[in-house]
Amino acid sequence: MERFSRVLVINPPSPPGFVSNKDSMGGFGQLFPPGATYMPPLDMVYLASFLTEKQVPVEVLECLGMELDLAHLTAAAARACGGEAEGRVLAVVRTSTPTLDWDLSVCAALKAQTAGLRLAICGAVVTHVAQRIQETGAVDYLVRGEPDDVVYELVQGRALATIPGLTYLGTAGWVENPPRLFDKNLDRLPFPKWELFPYTRYQLPKSSTHGRVAFLPMITSRGCPVGCHYCPYPVGQGGVFRYRTAQNVVDEMEHLAHDLGVQYILFRDPIFSLNQRRVLEICNEIQRRGLTIEWKCETRVDCLREETVRAMAQAGCTGINFGIESAEVEIQANSGRKPITQEEFIATVRLCHELGISTFGFFIIGLPGDTADTILDSIKFAIDVRTNWVQFTAASPLLGTKLRDWAISNGYVPEHEQDYVNSYRVMMGNENLSKEQVNGLLHFAQFIGTNFINRRGILKDTHAGTRVYRLGRQMADALTYRTAQVIYALGRWYFARRLAAEA
């Protein structure tokens, strides 16, 4: 017999003063200032779609896109429970690292104001904060790992003790079942049923496309075997690369374009081109079907042969995000990353630009082994590599990562420290720099990135067609490049004097 007759899939409202993006940082999430674009947690979209495909009645309360505050959420949950027997409605609430306490308060409010509602909480962080969640008494179940099958088996009435990946409150206290293995057959999952979500409200940031276009995210693979110590993807998705077939991927792209009017797809895979043969198959299938749609992905430079980049450009790819992290191969190696040289980055970025693909470079400040000189060298490389956009973030010891283990063992963060908002805020120093020194260098990097490389989005559209706009962009590129070099030189002089005085 079914345990629950109805499921509410809930992405809670953002904490006051922030916009939450729970899909970022490998599902561990980040908080951004008001005005940031909304991005739905893809695991919630998949969960709602999976349950719907299994004929489970589902109501989605995606509070960001639907603009529901706490009062409206609790009222909507109460309405959804109306007419149902007590204890027959399950709410599955998505949480993340920086929103955990807020989300638990939302769960407590739902429980207090909706009699008989049962609550489950899920998200990549749940496994690592289970005791903290249990102590609040705000939820009845913890869903660890990918939620689809766990929630379905819970709804269907399977014996609690036999559901892998579930933690539940038994008669003698909390019971943690064995973990559930990651699903390797991703083709079996239904396509996201975006009609359950306010999908027209989701927008791309300026760095991804030109103007306002109909957009949705996709994920075609999960897991990352590279194992960089700072990366949350292997923690939340596992270290085994699991992927959908090319046919399945392009089927979904065609559905989004033809049925939902989507013009732009943002692939959320950790490393989109880890299997380059699959990428070539995807690109060939897009062209074979005559599918016209723009898309962007994230990958590693050493997972891109020239043949692959050219095929991607011909198949509609207009943007690639690259994790550069540090210009120094020694610093990359210190963090468990397979090193990539500056020359490799420059060559790939140049090829992308020749083919009309815009590029975005990610850098991390304050990694193990970083000094003021290596960080400043990375800032200079961020100017010289000439990606269209850059992002500088702080090395963040996220729960479950090897970087966190290293930071705790060296006393850079306390073991209980979970005061994480986003990776733009410095949480620790390293063996060469204090937290305050890392913060100063990060702010300098962000100043150059925001004002001179990214230019606050001014004249940054690489796809604008008018001759006047292109000329203006070229002049702005040349001017801000030279200005960034001057500002960098002044900054290097300043930090040399400042750090010498502090020594």
pLDDT tens, position by position, 94-127: 999 999 999 999 999 999 988 889 999 999 999 9
- Asked if residues 198 and 380 have their Cβ atoms less than 8 Å apart, the reply is no
pLDDT, position 255: 97
Out of 194-208, 313-327, 350-364, least confident range: 194-208
Region 414-421 average pLDDT? 74
DSSP 246-263: HHHHHHHHHHHHHHH---
- Among residues of the chain, what percentage have pLDDT more than 70? 97
The CATH code of domain 203-502 reads 3.80.30.20
pLDDT, position 491: 96
**Distance from C-alpha of 286 to C-alpha of 161, rounded to nearest angstrom:** 45
Q: Match 């345990």 to its residue by tokens.
A: 3
pLDDT tens, position by position, 375-405: 999 999 999 999 999 999 999 999 999 999 9
pLDDT tens, position by position, 339-351: 999 999 999 999 9
- Asked if residues 167 and 154 have their Cβ atoms less than 8 Å apart, the reply is no
The segment(s) of the chain belonging to CATH 3.40.50.280 are 6-176
- Among residues of the chain, what percentage have pLDDT more than 90? 86
Exposure string of 346-360, with b = 16+ CB inside 10 Å and e = fewer, is bebbebbeeeebbbb
- Asked if residues 166 and 143 have their Cβ atoms less than 8 Å apart, the reply is yes
DSSP state of 423: T
pLDDT, position 374: 98
The stretches of 262-305 forming alpha helices (DSSP H) are 276-288
- Asked if residues 56 and 3 have their Cβ atoms less than 8 Å apart, the reply is no
Task: Report CA-CA distances (Å) from 31 to 22, 190, 445.
Answer: 8, 29, 20
Token representation of residue 64: 């960001």
pLDDT, position 420: 73
pLDDT tens, position by position, 32-52: 999 888 888 999 999 999 999
- Asked if residues 288 and 318 have their Cβ atoms less than 8 Å apart, the reply is no
**Distance from C-alpha of 388 to C-alpha of 391, rounded to nearest angstrom:** 11
Report helix, strand or coil for 303. Answer: helix
Q: How many helices (H) and strands (E) would you count in the chain?
A: 16, 17
- Residue 104 dihedral angles phi and psi, to the nearest 5°: -65, -35
| Confidence band for 208, pLDDT divided at 50, 70 and 90 | low
Whether residue 210 is predicted with pLDDT greater than 60 in this model: the reply is no
pLDDT, position 206: 61
Average pLDDT, the chain: 94
pTM of the model: 0.95
- Residue 111 dihedral angles phi and psi, to the nearest 5°: -70, -40
**Distance from C-alpha of 4 to C-alpha of 157, rounded to nearest angstrom:** 8
Q: Assign domain 6-176 to its CATH superfamily.
A: Cobalamin-binding domain (3.40.50.280)
pLDDT tens, position by position, 57-71: 999 999 999 999 999
| Confidence band for 261, pLDDT divided at 50, 70 and 90 | very high
Token representation of residue 276: 């380059």
Burial class for 135, CB neighbours closer than 10 Å (0-12, 13-18, 19+): exposed
**Distance from C-alpha of 55 to C-alpha of 82, rounded to nearest angstrom:** 20
pLDDT tens, position by position, 432-444: 999 999 999 999 9
Whether residue 416 is predicted with pLDDT greater than 90 in this model: the reply is no
The segment(s) of the chain belonging to CATH 3.80.30.20 are 203-502
- Asked if residues 293 and 263 have their Cβ atoms less than 8 Å apart, the reply is yes
